[in-house]
Structure 1
Amino acid sequence: MTDRKPYAADRLQSRGRLFAERISTFRSPYQRDRDRIIHSSAFRRLKHKTQVFIEHEGDYYRTRLTHSIEVAQVARTLAGALGLNTDLAEAIALAHDLGHTPFGHTGEDALSRLMEPYGGFDHNAQALRIVTSLERHYADFDGLNLSWETLEGIAKHNGPILDAAGVPLKGELPVALAEYNAQHDLWLHTHASAEAQVAAIADDVAYNHHDLHDGLRSGLFSEEDLMELPITGPAFAEVDALYPNLEKMRRRHEALRRVFGVMVEDVIAVAEHRLGAAQPKDADEIRHLGMTIIRFSDRMFRELKVIRQFLFHRMYRAPSVVAMRTEVTQVVQDLFALFLDDPSLLPEEWHEDVAKAADTHALARIVADYVAGMTDRFALQEHVRLIEGSKAWPQEPYRG
């Protein structure tokens, strides 16, 4: 691990929390944030939320939980190698997907369309809403009361959201971001910390790696297909040269871990070069550089784009995946319409929020919060219970 750099987030210089708390005697603010995220209900629910394949389709496929753990591992590695704050990078990485709906991006696409008349839906903004409002376990505040730096990273790890004049860079500012930013300014017009940028690139590294693993396991493509692609082809060729006649699963693992390593080494090399050229004196200079400092090289980006195009056609839009997407889209649409029409069907603990809803927009946001929080299996079971009447899905009973 490299010595901490001056532009790393300093635990002693944190901008603090919305609600002041006594400082821990044995944990930094970012360690405390990490622990609160891990112990949250939303984090546990990621166990039964889709990454690519619906949760009940197989025990070996990644879920949002295993994906988040892999992202956190990559983030800690990158942050350590670059002399950044590993605890902050890990906390942001663990929280980055808390706002995902059941059924992955399919569920988000469906809920986004349904929420268009009511202010829209965005999973990054929903993650912020969860950690600042929807988690309700503490006596003194709603949410997890995370530090400013962790909240900033959750909100804008993919880059600025507003321009210098405060105008959204893409579409409208998500409601959850606008509401929270009005009371706790997260500097939505700047880039995020280096640690948040590490979490963002770690997400790319993790899914580019594990989607290849899961696609091979599903049988949607083969190792021979990957030998025709950049990065993966040389990786398999290297393994074949070093280990002739290696058994299939070991060969696969050895090749894909080389793919993993190539991506990580590329990010570190590019970041070291860009940081060396910029010479930022502190964390705020990173935010105001006007560019992403943690990124892939141009060559790596182009080669990964080829792989992503391959995965799009052979995996994300494979007929079996598309068929399941159609089914689960209908599930989300049906549940949203049902609860919006009759909010009394929501669990009792949601009734107080419903009673406070000033208009249909506010009610729709509550329904979206509830549906987005569902796991795959719970959404399917509720669809059966409330709409279908009877249908056997291959899953265990939902126990909350």
Structure 2
Amino acid sequence: MTAPYACQPELSRGRLSSEQLSTFRSPWQRDRDRIIHSSAFRRLKHKTQVFVEHDGEAYRGDYYRTRLTHTIEVAQVARTIAGALDLNTDLAEAVALAHDLGHPPFGHTGEDALAALMEPYGGFDHNAQALRIVTRLERHYADFDGLNLTWETLEGIAKHNGRVLERDAMGDPVPAPLPYALAEVNGLWNLELHTNASAEAQVAAVADDVAYNHHDLHDGLRAELFTEEELAELPVIGPAFAEVDRLHPGLDRMRRRHEALRRVFGVMVEDVIAVAQNRLTGLQPQSVDEIRDMDGPIIRFSKPLYQNIKAIKSFLFTRMYRAPSVVVERRSVTAMLNRMFPLYLNAPANMPDQWRATAEAAADETQRARVVLDYVAGMTDRYAIAEHQRLFGDRPAA
């Protein structure tokens, strides 16, 4: 039994292309299954989370997170939190599984590079690209392009970082430029970008924060970018290590690390649930639209924990995301994309036949650039590296 403010399957706003209801699955179970079976989801296996996914370089190995393993962890956290709050766990899981489908190769480095390259052509944003993938680029079904996901799942993808447009005093949307891929989908089906997402989609967004703050600590330790002793100086993490040492003195290093970091994980999840339960009890929303019309998200960290997480993120930014070895890799992969993108744009014959034909048929340079973007953004790390090697015969130095 779900809460009155949860999304109800029977009240779903449906799909762009009408379909018969499934005999055995709810609309959001069906969304989840289509996402899992999509080509874009499979490609996440070989896309960067932090460390570029290929052999022969420092920090490579089977233990580091990829974009796929990250996504699976986000979905697990989302189901846990949604279940504790009597929300629809299937919708929360579907949004979580789709939230990173639009990521290009090389993680946020790749996104930054493509955003700069696409600036003259309408920009690039991985959330908007995820919408483009699930509404247009996946082409497996006879009756429609994309996955024909429900309105609620599309809304959750679009509003992964919160509402997209501001509201005026009357509650109406304040117009603002949108990434073209988002504007395109919103033009087909109004996603009400000036409102909050559903509580389920908010859960998926917070689960993303929980997952990467937890697993990036694991991966940074394994890569020896920092030590347990340095982490012990940070809020939340220090007390977690202290508790493990008190309960399990002399524990070997790897078990000690795991025990401490799973406590950090638990602190974040329990905090989100407690804050949401308190706010929901106080506000007593009676529908999902009341959640959407609130001044801000109802699913979030407490203010004290949020400040502690900011300190952890600051540490990770300096010691992991901008570690000298990672910066060298960032420069190298940025140079790769900066060489490949204009080559494809000016000489589409270098792309596979399907993409070449679409690019050559484009009405103008902007449309052609967007075809090239769809091709490049869909690459895995290893495919992009292989393509660069094929086209240029080398890998650019950092």
Pair 1:65-2:76 in alignment: no
Distance 1:185 1:192 in 2: 13
Correspondence 1:345 to 2:350? yes
Partner of 1:288: 293
Deviation of 1:163 (Å): 2.4
Q: Distance in 1 between matches of 2:188 and 2:10?
A: 23
Following the alignment from structure 1 to structure 2, what is the Cα–Cα distance between the partners of residues 108 and 356?
Answer: 26
Tell me which residue corresponds to 2:57.
none
Q: Which 10-residue stretch deviates more, 341-350 or 216-225?
A: 341-350
What SS does structure 2 have at the residue aligned with 1:102? coil
* Aligned counterparts, 1:228-307, within 5 A: 228-307=233-312
Residue 386 (structure 1) shift = 0.7
Opposite residue 31 of structure 1, the aligned amino acid is: Q
SS in 1 for 2:123: coil
Q: Deviations over 1:329-351 (max 9, x none)?
A: 01111110110010121111223
- Of 114, 125, 139, 1:122 maps to 125
User: Percent same amino acid at aligned positions?
Assistant: 70
Work out whether 1:86 is the aligned partner of 2:89. yes
Deviations 1:309-366 (A, max 9, x none): 1111111111000000000001111110110010121111223422431110000011
From 130, 135, 148, the counterpart of 1:132: 135
CA positional deviation for 1:391? 6.1
Q: What amino acid does structure 1 have at the position aligned with 2:329?
A: M
Structure 2 counterpart of 1:20: 18
- Residue 397 of structure 1 aligns with which residue? none
Distance 1:168 1:98 in 2: 27
Q: Answer whether contact 2:99 2:127 (CA < 8 A) is retained.
A: yes
Instruction: Flag structure 2 segments of 5+ consecutive residues without an equivalent.
Output: 55-59
Shift in Å, 1:33: 0.2
Q: Is the 8 A contact 2:139 2:146 kept in 1?
A: yes
Specify which of 174, 178, 189 is matched with residue 167 of structure 1. 174
Letter in 2 for 1:136: R
Partner of 2:226: 221
Q: Aligned residue pairs: how many?
A: 387
Distance 1:352 1:16 in 2: 34
Which residue matches 1:157?
160
Query: What letter is aligned with 1:13?
Result: L
Give the C-alpha shift of residue 216 in structure 1.
0.2
Question: Deviation of residue 166 (structure 1)?
Answer: 3.3
How big is each residue's C-alpha offset from its partner over 1:221-277, in whole Å with a ceiling of 9 and x where there is no partner? Answer: 000001110000000000000000000000000000000000000000100111112
Query: C-alpha separation between the residues in 2 aligned to 1:167 and 1:360?
Result: 30
Q: With structure 2 as the length reference, what TM-score do the two structures score?
A: 0.96
Cα gap change, 1:303/1:338 in structure 2, threshold over 3 Å: closer, same or farther?
A: same
Change (3 A) 1:215 1:140: same
Tell me, yes or no, if the aligned pair for 2:38 and 2:138 is still in contact at 8 Å. yes
User: Whole-Å Cα distance in 1 between the matches of residues 122 and 275 of structure 2?
Assistant: 38
In structure 1, how many angstroms separate the alpha carbons of the residues matched to 2:32 and 2:234? 37
Q: Take 2:153 and 2:210, find their aligned partners in 1: how far apart are those partners?
A: 21
Give the Cα–Cα distance (whole angstroms) in 1 for the partners of residues 48 and 340 of structure 2: 18
Instruction: Give structure 1 stretches of 5+ with no counterpart.
Output: 393-400
Distance of 2:217 and 2:316 partners within structure 1: 8
Corresponding residue for 2:45? 47
| 1:309 is aligned to 2:325 | no
Amino acid at match of 2:245: D
Structure 2 match to 1:111: 114
| Contact in 2 for aligned 1:161/1:168 (Cα 8 Å) | no
Given that 2:127 and 2:160 are in contact with CA atoms closer than 8 Å, whether structure 1 keeps it comes out as no
Maintained 8 Å contact 1:353/1:366: yes
Alignment partner of 1:99 out of 102, 114, 131: 102
Distance (whole Å) between structure 2 residues aligned to residue 48 and residue 161 of structure 1:
29
Give the Cα–Cα distance (whole angstroms) in 2 for the partners of residues 356 and 160 of structure 1: 35
What secondary structure, in the 3-state scheme, does the structure 1 residue paired with 2:192 have? Answer: coil
Give SS of 2:188's match. coil
Structure 2: distance between partners of 1:63 and 1:315:
15
Q: What is the CA distance between 1:152 and its match in structure 2?
A: 0.4
One-letter code aligned to 1:361: T
**Partners of 1:120 and 1:174 within 8 A in 2:** yes
Match of 2:377 among 372, 375, 381: 372
Of the three residues 187, 204, 208, the one matched with 1:203 is 208
Q: How far, CA to CA, are the matches of 2:69 and 2:337 in structure 1?
A: 23
d(CA) in 2 for partners of 1:34 and 1:209?
24
CA offsets 1:166-222 (integer angstroms, 9 cap, x no match): 3356xx211011111111111111000000000000000000000000000000000
Letter in structure 2 aligned against 1:25: T
Q: Distance in 1 between matches of 2:185 and 2:328?
A: 38
Cross-structure match for 2:6: 8
Looking at structure 1, the residues matched to 205 and 284 of structure 2 have their Cα atoms a distance apart, in angstroms, of 22
